[in-house]
Amino acid sequence: MNKIITSFLAPAAIGPYCQAVETDGFIFVSGQLPIDASTGEMKQGIEEQTRQSLNNILYILEAAGSNMDKIVKTTVLLKDMNDFGKMNEVYASFFNSYPARACYQVAKLPKDALVEIECIAKK
């Protein structure tokens, strides 16, 4: 049976989906925009937006009883691939060992964000 995971420290879903689902020992975290749940505001700049998106993932994983070290796969969506290096610097600081990852430039992200990050983690 699937278990819905919710953290009030991360922003609520802005559509018909949940923050995360736990099933069969894995946690599937929906794409996290760089929105600060306490203010409802989006940070400015790729570094701050990357940091906020990853903090949102951290909050959701903690609510599920997991952590960043248990992430096995991430997907990073960037508005501009020229931000790849700056995003990578912040991204690297969140991990002791790096998960598998894909990174794509996309035409547009919700709320005109510069980055959105999703992941799959072990419980």
- Residues 40-83: tens digit of each pLDDT: 999 899 999 999 999 999 999 999 999 999 999 999 999 999 99
Residue 14 has pLDDT above 90, yes or no: no
Q: What is the reported pLDDT for 1?
A: 85
d(CA 78, CA 50): 10
Q: Which domain does 90 fall in, by range?
A: 3-122
Residue 8 and residue 37 in contact, taking contact as beta carbons nearer than 8 Å: yes
Provide the 8-state DSSP code for 66: -
Degrees to nearest 5, angle at CA 70 with 64 and 72:
115
Structural domain count, the chain: 1
Q: Which three-class secondary structure state does DSSP give residue 13?
A: coil
Quick one: pLDDT at residue 43? 87
Both tokens of residue 89?
């610097």
For the chain, give the percent of residues with pLDDT over 70: 100
Length reported for the chain: 123
18 classed as catalytic: no
What is this structure's pTM? 0.96
Q: Please list the residues that pair with 28 across neighbouring strands.
A: 21, 120
Closest of 41, 48, 35 to residue 7, by C-alpha: 35
Kindly report the CATH number assigned to the domain that includes residue 55.
3.30.1330.40
**Which of 68, 103, 109, 120 is the catalytic position?**
103
Q: Quick one: pLDDT band at residue 99, thresholds 50, 70, 90?
A: very high
